Amino acid sequence: MATNLVILQGRLTKDPNYEIKPSGTEKATFNLAVQQDYKNEHGQREADFIRIVGYGKLANNLVTYAKKGSQLNVVGRLSVRKYEQNGETKYMTEVKLDKFYLLDSIPNVSRPPQQATTAPSATIENKQTKPPLNPDEMSLFAGQTTQVNPNMATAPAPLDDGDPF
């Protein structure tokens, strides 16, 4: 059995590049700067720049919420693809995005037009006008009646031998 799992934490080097393919698939690409744990001979930390590719809803969410400098935790899988350039075969290693977690606070952004969603006003009104629950309503068995089974034995009274422990 083989496993291909990549988990990275770093910062975006620039805003994600977003495109919609002719097939209608959304695609976002970006480079993630992942800092090394050690310092070089000049006392500075170096970074690796890893290419990340996300598709569909992930791509749209990336473009909406992640900006240059955003700190992300990325989960994906390593992918190597080849392509021809000037008659020469080239290989590119990248991470195909499965999940991402924005580690910074979400900036105040407006969603792109294709993502503009509004909740029905009735739902919002229902949430706002419903009174808070009282403690009796919070019970797991709220509103249920209990019925004693006459065939059930009652628990014996606890023994009191006078010892406080």
Looking at residues 53-70, what average pLDDT do you find?
Answer: 93
Which CATH superfamily includes the segment(s) 6-38+45-104? Answer: Nucleic acid-binding proteins (2.40.50.140)
E strands, the chain, in order: 6-12, 17-20, 26-39, 45-55, 71-85, 88-102
What per-residue confidence (pLDDT) applies to 118?
Answer: 38
Cβ atoms 68, 15 nearer than 8 A:
yes
Output the six-digit token pair for 64.
Answer: 């909406």
> So what's the pLDDT on residue 21?
92
Q: Quote the percentage of the chain above a pLDDT of 90.
A: 53
Q: Give me the pLDDT at residue 40, please.
A: 86
Does 81 score more than 50 pLDDT? yes
**CA terminus-to-terminus distance, the chain:** 57
11-20, 76-85, 99-108, 112-121: segment of lowest average pLDDT:
112-121
Model-level pTM greater than 0.75? no
pLDDT band at 117 (very low <50, low <70, confident <90, very high): very low
**Phi-psi label, residue 64: left if phi above 0, alpha if psi -120 to 50, beta otherwise:** alpha
